[in-house]
Amino acid sequence: MNVNRILGIGATVAVLLSLPFFGRNWNRLMHIVGAVLFLGNIIVTAVWASLGRKSREPEVIRFLVRGILLTDAVFTLPAVILLALNGGILGTVWFKAGAPWIIVSVLLFIVTGVLWGAVLAPIQKRLGRLVDAMPPRGPIPPEYDVLMAKWFRWGGIATLVPLVVLVLMVLKPSF
């Protein structure tokens, strides 16, 4: 599995889908598709990660960690691009109007990105190296449990924040 190639293909497709070929309705659709992919992937990944983590089987754990890395490449990164580009196109009107909900939403989206880039991605990379070095039938290193606990803790925060953004986007409160 070449994750870098998948990242490149997914990013390219997301950028192409964000071009305003068909007007604002197209961008709105792609923004919603991005939100569904983004939230769907992070929530479903957390569920199957918690189920796989309980197995304590080295091969299941290896499959789990590789799956997390793969689904981030296939779903999360393209979803972030769809959200950012199409949201940028759609949000200009709201920014010009000074709508506070859009400013808060963008800031929270950035917080999610910082959490992923500064905390979750390094944990996932360490987990990837750890499971690649793990013997097929050998014991699970104690570091795995420490890293997964951090991943769930910070991942929970990084999931709740975009859920707040979703609420703000739908309700558009005036504060």
For 168, residues 6+ apart whose C-beta sits below 8 A from its C-beta are 101, 104, 105, 108
Hey, what are 127's tokens? 């987990």
- pTM given for the model: 0.85
Position 121, amino acid: A
**pLDDT tens over the chain, length 175 residues:** 576 677 677 777 777 776 666 777 888 988 999 999 999 999 999 999 999 888 888 999 999 999 999 999 889 999 999 999 899 888 888 877 888 999 999 999 999 999 999 999 999 999 999 999 998 887 899 999 999 999 999 999 999 999 999 999 999 998 8
What residue segments make up the domains of the chain, in order of their start? 3-171
> Could you give the CA distance from residue 13 to residue 93 in angstroms, rounded to a whole number?
26
